[in-house]
Amino acid sequence: MPMHTVWPEVETFQDHSTWRPDWTPERICLYWYLTFEDQPEAASVAARAAGNLSRLPVIYQVPPRWLHLTLCDIGFLDQITTDQLEQLTDAVSVALRDQPHLSLTLGPVLPFDDAVTLAATPEDDLRQLWSRVADAMLSAGLAPEHHSLDAFRPHVTLGYLNRRTDTRTVWDALGDPSARESLTVDRLTLAAVGRRDGHYQWDCGAVISFGDDGEMLSTTGNDSTP
């Protein structure tokens, strides 16, 4: 599987909770997610790959229904006006009017410094989507926070480490690290993400379909681990 992203060599996982100290409890950050509500294949490959991760106290495993791919972050809600948010959503909706559905492959398992993930490919298609959304954001006067195309490593997180941990502890608990599954993604979700009680929670804002004139789909709020 060709990939041009450089993934880190990780010997010791770091504590994910130390990331972004400006993200305090109850502060909301906005993200663009690819989500898999109608794709049971995502939960299937995650379960095969994760194995016994849920039994490890050092990791917060992402529940299957909350699996997602973070495309880019938008910024903190308290720094974005209502008008900017409306302009942003409209601009991205227009940009995705002719966006084809994405045929993705999730897997194999690859490490982040503080997380266990499934690689997502093809990277070229995901990078093109990133660029399309980023350009739309810029047209609305915003830019992706903390992300650039060079730093974009497409992935779906299986779990986040809550303390420094030797990688062997985690790798020994995995089921099938080479597991892969194909699926189709047809929407982009605007997620309002908060960090509370030692984990993440997020509510869906807008959901924009690919093609079909960038139709805005109805949404409901939920909790999640991103």
For 80-102, the pLDDT digits (tens) are 999 999 999 999 999 999 999 99
Q: Between helices 123-139 and 82-95, what is the axis angle to 10°?
A: 140
Q: In the predicted model, what is the mean pLDDT of the chain?
A: 86
Distance CA 149, CA 36 (A): 23
Share of the chain above pLDDT 90, in %: 61
Cβ-in-10-Å burial (0-12, 13-18, 19+) of 35 comes to: buried
Number of CB atoms found within 10 A of residue 95's CB:
21
CB proximity list for 94: less than 8 A, separation 6 or greater? 136, 214
Residue 154 has pLDDT above 60, yes or no: yes
Residue 196 has pLDDT above 60, yes or no: yes
Domain 27-217 superfamily per CATH:
Cyclic phosphodiesterase (3.90.1140.10)
